Structure 1
Amino acid sequence: MTAALTVPTLRGDRAADARALTEVTAGAEEILAGLPPRVDRDAGQQDLAARVHADCRALREEFLRAHAAQLYRELTGDHTRRPRLPEVAYAAADLVPGLVPTAAQIAAELRHEQAGKEGREIDQGILFGALLALPDAGEHLVESMLGPVPRSLELADLFARTGQLELGSVRLSRTGGVTRLEVHNDHCLNAEDNQLAEDMETAVDLVLLDGETRVGMLRGAPMSHPRYAGRRVFSAGINLRDLHRGRISYVDFLLARELGYLNKIVRGLHPGDGSPPVQKPWVAVVESFAIGGGAQLAMVFDRVVAAADAYFSLPAAQEGIVPGASNLRLIRRAGSRLARQMILGGRKVWAHETDGRLLCDEVADPREIEAVAARAAEQLSAPAVVANRRMLGLAEEPPQRFREYMAAFAGVQAYRMYSDDVLGKVERAALHGMNG
């Protein structure tokens, strides 16, 4: 089969290169439109589509190597605006047609299971990897994602007045300066999905915005699942059924989760006016298990209290995806050997094990865990805690190091979402009702 596209060498001129990219990708769309849906393609058609995508992605990467900094300045008004990830992606699609998918193309992808998608989110990964790799643009983008989301600003006054709020899959309740976030995504054992990620970011924002809250505390609600009925569960990780069904978004979940509420727990809310971020200490209460994303989440807390019968695991290698920023953070907390055993080998670590103490601060009798967690929150309420946690954070995970990690993660994770091994694994896991 002959080459699908004629791909030019870009000349270094922003406008001319953009026109060339748009022309090539428009030709690619014509070829793809003439093919059957992805799941119905024969081997030759699959090979043709793969070469079309590869040629276009190489051209996008070449364009971004030359023009990413200028592109970001155009998207942000020379860094005067602070758009979030989806706004950046879709504005880039309008500014340079063919560089990334449009909102309509992503909406069309959502009509398919993961295995049936064209894989357009990979192109979003290429864009964000390039932007995050740039010190100025990357820092600006990371800081922009630390700002409160509009939903949080709308609800802040209500929560300040009442100290109570229901956010769909997260309940907030403030008592004595401690705001408790209780996750009740109980239809899937608190597995993470797009809606939970949105609710969690709003909840974290509200804790950080609330003048009466000194400490945030996260805990899983009692479950209705027959196997765990009445038991509290911290997190079953990513909802693999939703990933199989094509309902886990690369931008809104996999990337925004890391740059959004997880990073806000670590670094606080960024006011955007040059003043320091608003930080508060956090306690995690781990019961039953913290699998995958749950274990990732526990790593960003100042104090982790775990029930003696709870365990931590990161089955990312078995699933085929990258476990967020765990590769960056777990080595610091637990050492290289245990990090490799968990991430590469899928080792399950029980809280009561010796190695479990590297993943949590206190191991409690399940019957006494509420009292232990309350004492931990009281200790973190001391006036000097916020200043010291900020200095610890600067030493432990400098912003530049986090940005550089996320630049690599952005591209790698986007490709992993569409790799053949991941598609096969999530299909089997979804059929067996597993998460991770």
Structure 2
Amino acid sequence: MEALFVPCRCSRCWVELVYCLGTALQGGSRIVAARGPSALPSLAMSSRFASSGEGQIWEFLRTEKRENGVAVVRLHRPDALNALSGPLMGELVSALRNMDNDPEVKAVVLTGSERAFAAGADIKEMKDKNYAEVYKTAMLEAWSEVSDIRKPIVAGVNGFALGGGCELAMMCDIIIAGENAVFGQPEIQLGTIPGAGGTQRLTRVVGKSLAMEMCLTGSRLDAHLAEKRGLVSRVVPTEQTVDEGIKVAEKIAQFSTPVIIAAKDCVNQSQELSLQQGLKYEKALFWSTFALSDRLEGMTAFKDKRKPNFTDE
């Protein structure tokens, strides 16, 4: 087998090295040199906070770090139904990065108010922009960083999740919807189209026909139809939405962080790869878990009929 230098983080993380070698061995030929850092899942956990620190004060967010491995982020623009402005999204990405780099956080709950998760992008902010301006500044490009967060994000959606709000919910990993939740992509009514994944993620979830109807007519889905079509995991009473999201996050947080990240990554890759490519990707990450102490502890605990004590190693 020909082994080439891989310009990624493998030299700094033995778990990722196992992943890379597993992939190469499975392919039977070589380690491809062209892959960059973003092409590999980051199984290693950083022990430091992001530069803004744990005690950051946000203008448009309310954050809470709980003792059970769960962090809660609430969008907070009550006067604008949590419309997603540039400053709000900048704060959100920064807060999520902090939590992603915090070893005490294993899962995040993202929510809004009971009236609105997020009513959409801030139309007043973008109304007078021209093509050159939005092209040069790559408007909305930074939003995709929400989906790059390694740890699971559970969206607790009440009220309006329209336009950018629906797109933001779909960037999360699990959506728990309150009974009053309403989803939609109404951009056509504003003379434009979805710009943060609405035509792409929605189609993959609900199918071409319904996605086409929603994007071409601006029609909306109530919570129960969204559940029926697979957009949300389940529907709960509105007043219980956030608590249910926290319960799901707490259940996730019981398990090994590197394995949580690997499982999330594999499911996300299923949306990008062919079945055979996805199966190979999954197998390589499955093999890599055998380099973890937590894998041995989990199987030993099962054999001994006791609860495992995971240490994220």
TM-score by length of 1: 0.48
Instruction: Please tell me whether the aligned partners of residues 224 and 235 of structure 2 are also in contact (alpha carbons under 8 angstroms).
Output: yes
Deviation string, structure 1 residues 201-227 (Cα, Å, up to 9, x no partner): 101111111110000110114xxxxxx
Gaps of 5+ in 1: 1-78, 81-135, 147-151, 222-230, 269-278, 400-436
Cα distance change, pair 153–391 in 1 and its aligned pair in 2 (3 A): same
Q: How does 1:307-322 map to 2 (within 5 A)?
A: 307-322=178-193
Change (3 A) 1:207 1:398: farther
2:50 is matched with which residue: 133, 150, 153?
153
Contact 1:165–1:173 (CA under 8 A) maintained in structure 2 = no
Post-superposition, which runs of at least 4 consecutive aligned residues in structure 1 deviate over 4 A?
A: 139-143, 247-250, 354-357
| Cα 1:325/1:167, change in 2 over 3 Å | same
Tell me the secondary structure at the aligned position of residue 225 of structure 2: coil
Query: How far apart, CA to CA, are the structure 1 residues paired with 2:76 and 2:179?
Result: 22
Cα distance in 1 between the residues matched to 2:219 and 2:83: 19
- 1:228 alignment counterpart: none
The one-letter code matched in structure 1 to 2:109 is M
SS of 1:360's partner is coil
Instruction: Report deviation, 1:142.
Output: 7.0
Pick from 251, 256, 259 the counterpart of residue 142 of structure 2: 256
Q: Deviations over 1:207-251 (max 9, x none)?
A: 111110000110114xxxxxxxxx442001111111124499552
SS in 1 for 2:270: helix
Answer whether contact 1:194 1:249 (CA < 8 A) is retained.
no
What residue in structure 2 maps to residue 373 of structure 1? 245
| Match 1:349 to one of 213, 218, 221 | 221
Q: Which runs of 5+ in 2 are unaligned?
A: 1-6, 9-32, 43-48, 275-313
- 1:90-147 CA-to-partner distances (Å, cap 9, x unmatched) read xxxxxxxxxxxxxxxxxxxxxxxxxxxxxxxxxxxxxxxxxxxxxx99x86977xx9x
Distance 1:252 1:331 in 2: 23
Q: Deviations over 1:331-384 (max 9, x none)?
A: 221111111111122110000236655211010111222332222112322334
Cα root mean square deviation, aligned: 2.9
What code does the residue aligned with 2:120 have? G
Note if 1:395 corresponds to 2:270. yes
**1:292/1:315 contact within 8 Å kept:** yes
Q: Structure 2 counterpart of 1:207, which letter?
A: M
TM-score, normalised relative to structure 2: 0.65
Q: Which residue of 2 aligns with 1:127?
A: none
Q: Residue 356 and residue 245 in structure 1: after superposition, are their counterparts in 2 closer, same or farther (change >3 A)?
A: farther
Q: Distance in 2 between matches of 1:141 and 1:239?
A: 33
Q: What is the match of residue 157 of structure 2? A: 286
Asked if the contact 2:71–2:107 (Cα under 8 Å) also holds between the matched residues in 1, the reply is: yes
Classify the secondary structure of the residue corresponding to 1:312.
strand
**Is contact 2:185–2:219 with CA below 8 Å preserved after alignment?**
yes
Q: Which has the larger radius of gyration?
A: 1
1:42-81 to structure 2, matched below 5 A, reads none
Residue identity opposite 2:100 in structure 1: L
Could you give the per-residue CA deviations for residues 391-429 of structure 1, whole angstroms, max 9, x where no partner exists? 111121359xxxxxxxxxxxxxxxxxxxxxxxxxxxxxx
Report the residue type matching 1:262 in the other structure. V
Task: Measure, in 2, the Cα distance between the counterparts of 1:367 and 1:192.
Answer: 23
Q: 1:207 to 1:172 in 2, by over 3 A?
A: same
Residue 174 to residue 300, structure 1, CA distance change in 2 (3 Å): same
| Shift in Å, 1:299 | 1.1
What is the aligned-residue identity percentage?
Answer: 26
Aligned to 1:300: 171
- Specify the SS of the correspondent of 1:358: coil
